[in-house]
Amino acid sequence: MWNKEGVLICGLGEKNKIIARIKYFRKCCRWSLQRIARGYADCDKWNMCRYLQNLIPDMLQDLRNERHGSPGFLGENYTNEDGILVNDTCHEEWDKLLDRMIFLWRESNEYTCTRQNPYEEEYSKAHKEFTEKYGFLGEKLQTEKELEENRKRGGGGTMHFMDELPVYKEITDRYFAEEKKIEAYRNTSKDEEMDMLKECFFSLWD
């Protein structure tokens, strides 16, 4: 129901953080009522992919832990010592499928993915240093020519980025090369999770 991140940032830029948090609390109450009435809130639409990436694996985990049965088409039927046809091997197989889906959903989410960028700390440190020296958008790197052209246009500025400076280029290239690999991995996880969801869709009940 409550978004911890939203509570933490709702007061940013506000003169009175207490009033900002009270307003946010009122919004959360409205969103909670919307979820009760129609199953989703206005805020859930703002980033549907992230909302589903958080919701679905949690639901799958709860299904796995609290379910009362498993799909009968899994496992193998056999006759027990009392002459009764049974299938108790379906549970372990269903556990494995649910575990895999839960894992893939969380791996596709940039906030819960287990693969982290090994250059994150070094890049963040370099980015902070760049920002302190040259501004967030590198505005202090503008040439006289760029400044003059911007004045003629009536304002604005020319952006400059870290990789334009040799001292930051190597870490920037390494960081974004790794980010591409992680993004590809998350996309692969997303594709596999969707394929599994299609196969198991009508079995997701209890």
For the chain, list residues with pLDDT below 50.
Answer: none
pTM for the model stands at 0.80
Instruction: Tell the residue number behind the tokens 């909302």, with chain if given.
Output: 51
- Please report the beta strands in 17-83, taking only residues with DSSP state E, as ranges in sequence order: 78-79
Predicted pLDDT at 56:
97
Q: What is the pLDDT of residue 42?
A: 92
pLDDT of residue 131: 95
Provide the token pair at 125. 């440190």
Residues facing residue 86 across a β-bridge: 78
- Backbone φ and ψ for 152, nearest 5 degrees, come out as -65, -30
Q: What is the 3-state secondary structure (H, E, C) of 87-154?
A: CCCHHHHHHHHHHHHHHHHHHCCCCCCCCCCCCHHHHHHHHHHHHHHHCCCCHHHCCHHHHHHHHHCC
pLDDT of residue 117: 98
How far apart are the C-alpha atoms of 191 and 194, rounded to whole Å?
A: 5
Q: Is 158 helix (H, G, I), strand (E, B) or coil?
A: coil
Rounded Cα distance between 141 and 119, Å, is: 25
At residue 7, the pLDDT reads 53
Q: What is the pLDDT of residues 134-188, one digit of tens each?
A: 999 999 999 999 999 988 888 788 999 999 999 999 999 999 999 999 999 999 9
Q: How far apart are CA 94 and CA 182, in angstroms?
A: 29
